[in-house]
Structure 1
Amino acid sequence: MTTTTRDKMIAGAADLMSRRGVNATSMRDVVRHTATPRGSISHHFPDGKRQLIAEAVTFAGKQVSIPLEKAMNDRGVIGGLKAFIASWRRQLEATGFEAGCPVLAVAVDRYVGEASDRDDEAAQQHLLDLADGVFADWRQIMRAALLREGLTAERSERLATLVVASIEGTVAMCRASRSADPLDHVQQELEMVLTAALSQATR
């Protein structure tokens, strides 16, 4: 599939956000990072930085949700969990533990717009809503997989939240420690918790 200038800028913004956070990612940085024409900003993103960041959040969400759903469908809960964690480990190690989750960056970094932005407060709420939607999508994929393997809706919801929250927090810990050890530890515990829950459900 052909990658357009717009697509390159969105992917580049997501990458920079994963490394620097939202407010340290400027439109100028994205242009430089993606080697795209500066005039592309106003052409592809007439609402400026707020629009680009929003598009990057949606993009980052799909970069996780699409392979996650496939892994859960093809491998089941435990196999899907292993694939989910492996993908984060690959990203961390490939970037020297520099890149984390751009969606988490939006959730924890208060948005400060550029000079042309009119309402930072509205932009902040919109970005938080988008991040919340991405996390909800990941939880729903996990929840559906747990339901298919016999857990109740209530338990599936709780465990799906545990998995997503644990991995998101652990990715941040790995960046701080420059090590995948926290991810390995969390994976072991999550596998034990999920295996026990699935075993109990089949009795």
Structure 2
Amino acid sequence: MTTATTRDKMIAGAADLMSRRGVNATSMRDVVRHTATPRGSISHHFPDGKRQLIAEAVTFAGKQVSIPLEKAMNQHGVIGGLKAFVASWRRRLEATGFEAGCPVLAVAVDRYVGEASDKDDEAAQQHLLGLADGVFVEWRQIMRAALLREGLAAERAERLATLVVTSIEGTVAMCRANRSAEALDQVQDELETVLSTALARTAG
């Protein structure tokens, strides 16, 4: 295994554990065990410890959504992109037995508590919140850009983009609690209705 792949594996593994357990229940030791990587890799790849690994995992998790979301919006338009967005979350929920949710949301709702070597948990907390906010902003911007391309006014596109992202994020959490994708199906239907109506009025 090369140095690059070891580091990437640890980042992906941290994101996966965060999506299942939250931030504070994800320790460096757990990541090493989960990814079957050498314990010595921690200090080599992440000299700032857990806070650095979690930060890298947030950025990684954000791109895991934003890249295919932007591609789907560009190729299939707003409604097709929405369907692909929802389908990706449904697949993840069902593939993990509704155990895994969104690691970015985990950072937003779980107050960071560092390892023994950490010196300033509050600074780490603010940094991680900033990263999570940046990911949510990126997702909304992708949605907003797609709506603008289909003719919506900027203010309306902004509100609808926020509605879509917050609705899906909240519904993923509900599905985990309920162990069912039913709520996700319901929210998708309603979002499609809202977006289709808005786009039809613009076209008209």
How does the TM-score come out when normalised to structure 2?
Answer: 0.98
Aligned partner of 2:197 in structure 1 is 196
Aligned partner of 1:172 in structure 2 is 173
- Listed one character per residue, the Cα deviations across residues 23-56 of structure 1 (whole Å, up to 9, x for unaligned) are 0000000000000000000000000000000000
How many angstroms apart in 2 are the aligned matches of 1:126 and 1:132? 10
How many angstroms apart in 1 are the aligned matches of 2:42 and 2:139? 30
1:22-33, aligned counterparts within 5 Å? 22-33=23-34
Aligned partner of 2:49 in structure 1 is 48
How many angstroms apart in 2 are the aligned matches of 1:200 and 1:108? 37
Letter matched to residue 6 of structure 2: T
Secondary structure of the structure 2 residue equivalent to 1:4: helix
Deviation at 1:22, TM superposition (A): 0.1
Aligned partner of 2:5 in structure 1 is 4
Secondary structure of the structure 2 residue equivalent to 1:22: coil
How many angstroms apart in 2 are the aligned matches of 1:145 and 1:196? 15
Aligned partner of 2:90 in structure 1 is 89
Count residues in correspondence. 202
How many angstroms apart in 2 are the aligned matches of 1:17 and 1:6? 17
Aligned partner of 1:109 in structure 2 is 110
Letter matched to residue 48 of structure 2: D
How many angstroms apart in 1 are the aligned matches of 2:24 and 2:83? 32
Deviation at 1:93, TM superposition (A): 0.1
How many angstroms apart in 1 are the aligned matches of 2:59 and 2:202? 34
Mind listing any 5+ residue stretches in structure 1 that lack a counterpart? none
How many angstroms apart in 1 are the aligned matches of 2:41 and 2:183? 40
- Listed one character per residue, the Cα deviations across residues 150-179 of structure 1 (whole Å, up to 9, x for unaligned) are 000000000000000000000000000000
Structure 1 consecutive aligned stretches of length 4 or more whose deviation exceeds 2 Å: none
Letter matched to residue 90 of structure 2: R
1:50-199, aligned counterparts within 5 Å? 50-199=51-200
How many angstroms apart in 2 are the aligned matches of 1:86 and 1:124? 31
How many angstroms apart in 2 are the aligned matches of 1:113 and 1:48? 9
Deviation at 1:124, TM superposition (A): 0.1
How does the TM-score come out when normalised to structure 1?
Answer: 0.99
Mind listing any 5+ residue stretches in structure 2 that lack a counterpart? none
Identity %: 88
How many angstroms apart in 1 are the aligned matches of 2:154 and 2:23? 35
How many angstroms apart in 2 are the aligned matches of 1:57 and 1:122? 16
